Amino acid sequence: MTSDSSSTPGPPSPAPPPSAADVAQSGSPAGSGARSPSDSGNPPGSALCVERGLASLRGLSVGDALGSQFFVPANLALLARREVPAGRWQWTDDTQMACSVLTVLAAHHRVDQDALVASFALRHDFDRGYGPAVNRLLRQVREGGDWRELAGALFKGHGSWGNGAAMRIAPLGAWYAHDPEQAAHQAEISAYVTHQHPEAVAGAMAVAAAAAFSASPDGPPTPLALLDGVLSLLPHSAVAAGLVRARDMLDYDDAATVAAVLGCGRRTSAQDTVPFALWSAARGLGDFEGAFWTTAQVGGDVDTTCAIVGGIVAASGAGAPPGRWLERTEALPDWVPAGS
């Protein structure tokens, strides 16, 4: 998310109907029937999970850092030519929060909501471009506030529908490569600590599930299978409706037209961000550079759309970012779990 957006990532009146978010406002994980991480596949917290999470996080950070370069007007001519700017590319809030997600997974082998929001608050860096509501919420958490009350009270009690829960979550999906359903469930839990509107939650679930499918031990799926797989795990929502349209437009080659239909984050809402990002990621599996340029060139909330796409595409081994791009990108902080 960019802090300079004039739009407000919260819903207008009237109030949305009760939903799964209501469950989480009490702090309890939703979906009580879901399996625990230990029920499936690789042992949680295994070195392989960490490696997959880090691979996605590196891609997310490159997408975020390089994408944010194109908010600089002087770089727009480079964007048109698909050329990268010189110098060091600093990542933004997308990467900073994703680092907390992976760190909490490594420590708890699941999403611990209190630990996650504590890490968000501890690592909060005002200069990384957080949205105004999250800036305020994390300050209040640092001062002893309860995230359950604070996140639930945002936007007149509707909760935020911003894209902030989706932008940070791809590494979690890569972690659960063996279990997309669990990826979506853990993403749902993770969203509530800052974003309690059902659309923001659905956006996070969609991105995590997409990254899980991308990171599949059997290799990434076809674009259509990826979007169908994600849709099978989503609640009824505007995000899901957008993904249905994205699926119907997989054969469109004009990304600008697709972005005009689906949105590309100009409203910084989950439903305005996630469908296009997943359309671009699905078509760009195995091709980090191509996916990046397609996403960046349509504009919008470019650091976040490119962070989402980068995190999903890099979750598969074939989709790693180019080494020369990784070298230009600011290094991940030293508190992120190290790979083997």
Q: Smallest distance, Å, CB 128 to Mg ion?
A: 7
Burial tier of 88 (Cβ tally within 10 Å: 0-12, 13-18, 19+)? exposed
Quick one: which of 19, 52, 94, 187 contacts Mg ion (CB under 5 A)? 94
Q: Contact between 179 and Mg ion (CB under 5 A)?
A: no
146 is in an annotated binding site: no
Nearer to Mg ion, 65 or 243 (CB): 65
Judged by CB under 5 A, the chain residues 127 through 146 that form the site for Mg ion are 129
324 alpha carbon, distance to own chain's centre: 24
Using the minimum distance from each CB to Mg ion, give the nearer residue, 68 or 182.
Answer: 68
Annotated ligand binding at 218? The verdict is: no
Q: Which helix (DSSP H) or strand (DSSP E) does residue 293 occupy?
A: helix 288-297
Q: Which residue in 49, 53, 93, 155 binds Mg ion (CB under 5 A)?
A: 93
Is 125 marked within a binding site? no
Q: Does 301 bind Mg ion (CB under 5 A)?
A: no
Residue nearest to Mg ion (CB): 92
Q: Is 220 in contact with 282 (CB distance < 8 Å)?
A: no
Q: Which of 269, 275, 265, 200 is nearest to 240 (CA)?
A: 275
Going by C-alpha positions, the residue among 184, 236, 246 that lies closest to residue 210 is: 184
Q: How many CB atoms lie within 10 A of CB 26?
A: 10
- Chain positions 10 to 49 lying near Mg ion, rule: CB under 5 A, are none
Cβ proximity of 99 and 128 under 8 Å = no
311 is a contact residue toward Mg ion (CB under 5 A): no
The token pair that represents 310 in the structure block:
């980068």
**Residue 301 marked in a binding site:** yes
* 254 has binding-site annotation: no
- For the bound state, the minimum distance from the C-beta of residue 53 to Mg ion, rounded and expressed in Å, comes to 19
Question: Given the rule CB under 5 A, which residues bind Mg ion?
Answer: 92-94, 129, 303
